[in-house]
């Protein structure tokens, strides 16, 4: 045990590794955090490691490996940069908010299952299971990247995952609820009202759609490029005359359709959602439920399942595997018919 002049006591381990001419001393941990039994157990493990004839060479290899923060940077450069912008931003945001501050300086080969459990367990205990699962999956992706590039031997996070509580994704809005939410948008600014109403009419994913610019609106269609979609498949949806009447006024200072400052796309965050919930007197729903609402109601009146899935930009059976290789159809005429039908239904529902 070593005690500093300020009274901080720590457990110390010291031994000469095999193949080295000098002893190596490391700090195991502070006495207030470690019991003597834990310190001795760690010391016994280190004795075995230091006695290995490969210890010096393995440490040299480990020293050449990147830190966790550096591995995240490489993962972004080589993998995330090829993914949709929304996925990249979400994954990087998770890594930089929850993991890099804790593990950044550590060698990526030293990150263990216990390290990540120390982050996600308190979050699960706070009943924030979706966030905990997102952190776990982001960390696991970096670990898998490290394995593929020879920075570590395995990914300890893929063997047994914590039992994250599943969030039921069954919610869709009845037409009465659709009308209530539509009317509730009158309490919002023009930009936010337009964004919400158009997401009800056009079943885009929220982050993909909010980044739209006026140049992507052409001949009654709005086009989302592949680099902004979740599955990297470009998608286009027909804008009915009723939907066009909901578009916001074009700003002279920006080409973005949905922006409040002319610089960045607007966000439909929790404040907007909670305001709509309050105004509509419907407490439990999400913006993403609009897509499920479209799919559910359209399947009730139209049997063209693969066209409805195409409107949602899903890869159903006709667009996966061998079928997907050969089927390159865009279904523009059929999608226009479906979206016009949905527009008429919604216009009638909201009065």
DSSP for residue 17: P
CATH topology for the 175-350 domain: hpI Integrase; Chain A (1.10.443)
Reported pTM: 0.62
* pLDDT for res 160: 83
* pLDDT for res 167: 62
pLDDT band at 343 (very low <50, low <70, confident <90, very high): very high
Q: Are 192 and 334 a contacting pair, CB within 8 Å?
A: no
**Phi-psi map region of 219: left, alpha, beta (phi>0 left; psi -120 to 50 alpha):** left
Q: Point out which residues pair with 11 in neighbouring strands.
A: 29
Q: In whole angstroms, give the CA distance from residue 302 to residue 222.
A: 23
Mean pLDDT, rounded, of the chain: 89
Q: What is the pLDDT of residues 194-235, one digit of tens each?
A: 999 999 999 999 989 999 999 999 999 999 998 888 888 899
Q: Which overall architecture, per CATH, does domain 68-148 show?
A: Orthogonal Bundle (1.10)
Query: Which tokens go with 252?
Result: 């002279």
Packed helices 289-301 and 190-201: angle between N→C axes, nearest 10 degrees: 40
Distances (CA, A) of 181 to 22, 273, 277: 72, 10, 8
Q: Where are the domains of the chain?
A: 2-63, 68-148, 175-350
Residue owning tokens 């009447």:
245
Q: In whole angstroms, give the CA distance from residue 120 to residue 258.
A: 35
Q: What is the pLDDT of residues 135-145, one digit of tens each?
A: 999 999 999 99
């Amino acid at each position: 045990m070593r005690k500093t002049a300020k009274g901080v006591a720590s457990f110390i381990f010291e031994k000469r590794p095999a193949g080295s001419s000098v002893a190596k001393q490391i700090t195991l941990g502070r006495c207030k955090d470690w019991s003597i039994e834990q310190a001795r157990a760690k010391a016994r493990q280190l004795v075995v490691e230091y006695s290995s004839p490969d210890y010096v060479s393995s440490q040299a290899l480990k020293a050449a490996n990147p830190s966790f923060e550096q591995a995240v940077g490489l993962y972004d450069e080589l993998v995330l940069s090829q993914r949709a912008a929304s996925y990249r931003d979400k994954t990087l945001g998770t890594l930089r908010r929850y993991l890099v501050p804790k593990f950044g300086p550590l060698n990526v080969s030293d990150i263990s299952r216990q390290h990540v459990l120390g982050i996600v367990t308190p979050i699960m205990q706070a009943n924030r299971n979706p966030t905990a699962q997102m952190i776990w999956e982001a960390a696991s992706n970096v670990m898998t990247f490290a394995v593929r590039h020879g920075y570590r031997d395995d990914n300890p996070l893929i063997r047994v995952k914590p039992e994250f509580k599943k969030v039921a994704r069954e919610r869709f809005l009845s037409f009465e609820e659709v009308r209530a939410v539509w009317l509730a948008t009158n309490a919002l600014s023009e930009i936010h009202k337009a964004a919400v109403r158009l997401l009800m009419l056009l079943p885009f994913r929220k982050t993909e759609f909010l980044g739209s610019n006026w140049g992507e609106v052409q001949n009654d269609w709005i086009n989302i490029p592949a680099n902004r979609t979740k599955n990297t498949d470009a998608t286009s949806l027909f804008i009915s005359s009723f939907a066009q009447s909901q578009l916001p006024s074009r700003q002279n200072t920006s080409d973005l359709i949905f922006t409040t400052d002319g610089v960045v796309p607007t966000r439909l965050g929790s404040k907007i959602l909670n305001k709509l919930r309050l105004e509509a007197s419907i407490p439990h729903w999400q913006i993403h439920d609009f897509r499920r609402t479209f799919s559910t109601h359209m399947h009730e009146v139209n049997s063209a399942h693969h066209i409805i899935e195409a409107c949602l930009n899903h890869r159903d059976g006709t667009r996966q595997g061998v079928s997907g290789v050969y089927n390159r159809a865009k279904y523009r005429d059929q999608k226009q018919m479906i979206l016009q039908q949905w527009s008429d239904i919604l216009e009638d529902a909201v009065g």
